[in-house]
Amino acid sequence: MGGRERRWRVRERRWFPAMPGRERRWFPAMPGREHRWFLAVLGVGAFLRLVAMLGYRPAIWFPDSYTYVVTALKPRPDLVRPAGYSMLLRLLEPLHSFAAVALVQHLLGLLAGVLVYLTARRLGAPGWAATAAPVPVLLDAYQIQLEHLLVSDVLFTALVLGAVCLAVSPRLEGRSRAAVAAAAGIGLLLAAATLTRTVGLPLIVLFAVWLLYRARGRVLAAGVMLAAAMLPVLGYGAWFYATYERTGIVGANGVFLYSKTMTFADCAVMNPPADVAVLCDPRPPEQRPPAQEYIWSADSPLVKLPGITFTEESDTLAGRFASLAIWSQPLDYAGSVLSELARTFRWDRPVYPDAEIYGYYRFPAQPPPPPGRYPATVGAEFAHRYEQGPIATVIVEPYAGLLRIYQDMIRLPGTVLLVILMAPPVLAGVRRWGGRRARRERRAGEGVRRWRAGGDGAEGTAGPAAWVMPWATAVALLVMPPAVAQFDYRYVLPAVPVACLALALAIRRASFKNIP
């Protein structure tokens, strides 16, 4: 071998520090070698999404989809849902293709997997943990199917996940311009999430508390974040007020909370005034339909009232009933929330709330029927204008059949999600119990100094409790729907990537060496 060739080969090698307990070794510099397993998972996820695009053209419709399209083509605040997702549809409207919308949603799903992986690696998670963390969001069949539905949940997931990744970033430390810009970015992402799904609004408070904790009492980052989050929300609220002369960003909070309380409300216990008593259901709770039927069914006491369901009068009356039910029966309310939340963690996936809604979350063997309700039929007309052609879902074999088989086999069981949620605090407890050296450092004040310096002393970390923020976000996303409305399978999926990120970060900080 000539000297020039030997020198060239030496230049093509890089020095990688040895892992603890291992000798140093030379590795050839191969692009992507360090990330090859994640890239393989990402490639499989991209392939599955390509099959979905080929098998179900242009996309799969959900009853809410038509309302989003109407708002996109006729911009106006909707009484039931904020207009964030509709604005995405309007942004893509020049393409005149719902297939393009589905493609963007699939790309957002892949982006979510990339964000989880990169954040976990950046904050020091082991390679295997960082690679495993995005597997559910990349390979879960129900996640892929949700991305092919014309609904707001995928956009909401990406926005919340982006905010979480910024919130645990080391660049938030100190008072630099980068920290201020990161705080503003968090606020804008949370504002967009809130204007996509109202469940994002309580997250603004959660993130503000987290930023105050990270800054150890400094309010600059939290103040910038709150301003960036609330200004767009208040602006949308002004638009909503100008349209309906009502305060808020939607006009259905009381209605949805009323439907929630009808799972347990007992008017004999509540003793409501006469004007509120018209919303009572004499049937015992165990004989009542699912909560959503009290919003949409013609037999609902609320729907039977004069006018549309979401008038200010109806929403206020429903809110009064719900408040009285919760105050009169707090234990029944808590039991209802817990029983609905428990559905999240079942190993199986029983039909709920009914066969129709459950069927929308599976890759269908037959095209969904055309809309039957009046608002949806109007939305279908707008959808034809948007697409400038037919909008019916066309099922193409063998691609669709492969996805149906895949969905029967590959999903994240609820019990596994429960383990993912329980593991971070358990690992943190193990570390606190076994980390004698860490306790000595905290007593000496070194732990606080390291936090303010940017972590635990290693480059690219964000403090020993970095897992807390994604974990708390996941818990909030899972608890809020059963608390204010009802459990729904698609409401679970936005919590999965942040829960998996929390586990990867908790593994980063776990220490088992000093356990007696």
SS3 track for 65-77? HHHHHHHHHCCCC
Give mean pLDDT, residues 372-393: 88
Give mean pLDDT, residues 162-189: 88
Cis status of the peptide bond prior to 353, with omega within 30 of 0: yes
In one-letter notation, the amino acid at residue 283 is R
Q: Is the pLDDT of residue 42 over 90?
A: yes
Categorize the per-residue pLDDT at 515 as very low, low, confident or very high, splitting at 50, 70 and 90.
Answer: very low
Which phi and psi (to 5°) does residue 407 adopt? -65, -30
Categorize the per-residue pLDDT at 510 as very low, low, confident or very high, splitting at 50, 70 and 90.
Answer: low
> Which percentage of the chain shows pLDDT scores above 90?
72
- In this prediction, residue 218 carries a pLDDT of 65
Q: Give the number of other Cβ atoms within 10 Å of residue 303's Cβ.
A: 16
- In this prediction, residue 212 carries a pLDDT of 86
User: 3-state class of 140 per DSSP?
Assistant: coil
Give mean pLDDT, residues 186-194: 98
DSSP assigned state of 289: P
Compute the mean pLDDT over every residue in the chain, rounded to the nearest whole number.
87
Q: Is the pLDDT of residue 459 over 50?
A: no
Which phi and psi (to 5°) does residue 57 adopt? -115, 135
The model's pLDDT over 394-435, given as tens digits with 9 standing for 90+, comes to 999 999 999 999 999 999 999 999 999 999 999 888 777 655
The model's pLDDT over 62-98, given as tens digits with 9 standing for 90+, comes to 999 999 999 999 999 999 999 999 999 999 999 999 9
- Spatial distance between the Cα atoms of 100 and 67, rounded to a whole number of angstroms: 19
Side-chain-side CA neighbours of residue 93 (13 Å) = 20
User: 3-state class of 165 per DSSP?
Assistant: helix
- In this prediction, residue 482 carries a pLDDT of 95
Q: Which of 3-12, 77-86, 120-129, 494-503 has the lowest mean pLDDT?
A: 3-12
Give mean pLDDT, residues 288-293: 91
- Spatial distance between the Cα atoms of 192 and 190, rounded to a whole number of angstroms: 5
Q: Which two tokens stand for residue 35?
A: 């990330």
Q: Which of 500, 468, 493 is nearest to 478 (CA)?
A: 493
Q: Which of 131-145, 209-223, 254-268, 346-360 has the lowest mean pLDDT?
A: 209-223
- Spatial distance between the Cα atoms of 199 and 153, rounded to a whole number of angstroms: 11
Categorize the per-residue pLDDT at 298 as very low, low, confident or very high, splitting at 50, 70 and 90.
Answer: confident
Paired sense of beta strands 25-28 and 13-16, if any: antiparallel
- Spatial distance between the Cα atoms of 400 and 385, rounded to a whole number of angstroms: 27
- Spatial distance between the Cα atoms of 402 and 395, rounded to a whole number of angstroms: 12
